[in-house]
Amino acid sequence: MNSSTSSSSNHRRHLAGLSCFATLLTLLLTVASSHFLPLFDSSPHVVLPPPSTFSFRHTLASALLRWDAFHFGHIARDGYVYEHEWAFFPGAPYVMKFAAAVLDSLSSQGTGDSSAHEARQWENIMLGGLTASLLSVPSTLVLYELTLAHFGSQNIAFLASLLSLLPSSPATLRIAGYTEPFFTFLSYSGMLLCARRRWMLATCCFAAATTFRSNGIFLCGFIAWGLVIDPLISYRKFHLGRALYAVMLCSCAVSFFVYHQYRAYELFCSGQATPAPWCASFPPSIYGYVQAKYWNVGFLRYWTVQQLPNFLLGTPPLALLIAFTLRYTHLAFLPRLFAFFSSTAPERRSAGGTREAGRSPFLTPAIAPHVIHGLVLCLLLLFASHTQIVLRQAASMPLTYWAAAWFLVERPRMGRWWVGWSVVWGAVSCVLWAAFLPPA
**How many angstroms separate the CA atoms of 374 and 226, rounded?**
17
The angle that helices 91-106 and 114-128 make with each other, rounded to 10 degrees, is: 120
Q: If you average pLDDT over residues 59-76, what whole number do you get?
A: 96
* Confidence band of 393 (pLDDT split at 50, 70, 90): very high
Q: If you average pLDDT over residues 187-208, what whole number do you get?
A: 98
Q: If you average pLDDT over residues 381-398, what whole number do you get?
A: 95
Burial 138-170 (b: 16+ CB within 10 A, else e): bbbbbbbbbbbebbeebebbbbbbbbbbbbbbb
pLDDT value at position 348? 45
CA 411, distance to chain mean position in Å, is 26
**pTM (predicted TM-score):** 0.94
Tens digits of per-residue pLDDT, 238-284? 999 999 999 999 999 999 999 999 999 999 998 877 899 999 998 99
Min mean pLDDT across 38-47, 134-143, 321-330 is at 38-47
pLDDT value at position 352? 46
pLDDT value at position 52? 80
pLDDT value at position 358? 57
| Sign of the four-CA dihedral 161, 167, 171, 176 | negative
Residue type, 169: S
Report whether pLDDT(388) > 90. Answer: yes
Determine phi and psi for 73, rounding to 5 degrees: -65, -40
Residue pair 297/287 in contact by the 8 Å Cβ criterion: no
pLDDT value at position 27? 96
**How many angstroms separate the CA atoms of 435 and 440, rounded?**
11
Q: If you average pLDDT over residues 210-220, what whole number do you get?
A: 97
pLDDT value at position 105? 87
Tell me the three state secondary structure of residue 19. helix
* Confidence band of 351 (pLDDT split at 50, 70, 90): very low
pLDDT value at position 157? 98
pLDDT value at position 343? 61
Residue pair 71/181 in contact by the 8 Å Cβ criterion: no
Report whether pLDDT(226) > 90. Answer: yes
Q: Taking all residues of the chain, what is their mean pLDDT, rounded to a whole number?
A: 93
Residue pair 86/287 in contact by the 8 Å Cβ criterion: yes
* Confidence band of 108 (pLDDT split at 50, 70, 90): low
Closest CA to 253 of 287, 222, 228, 217: 217
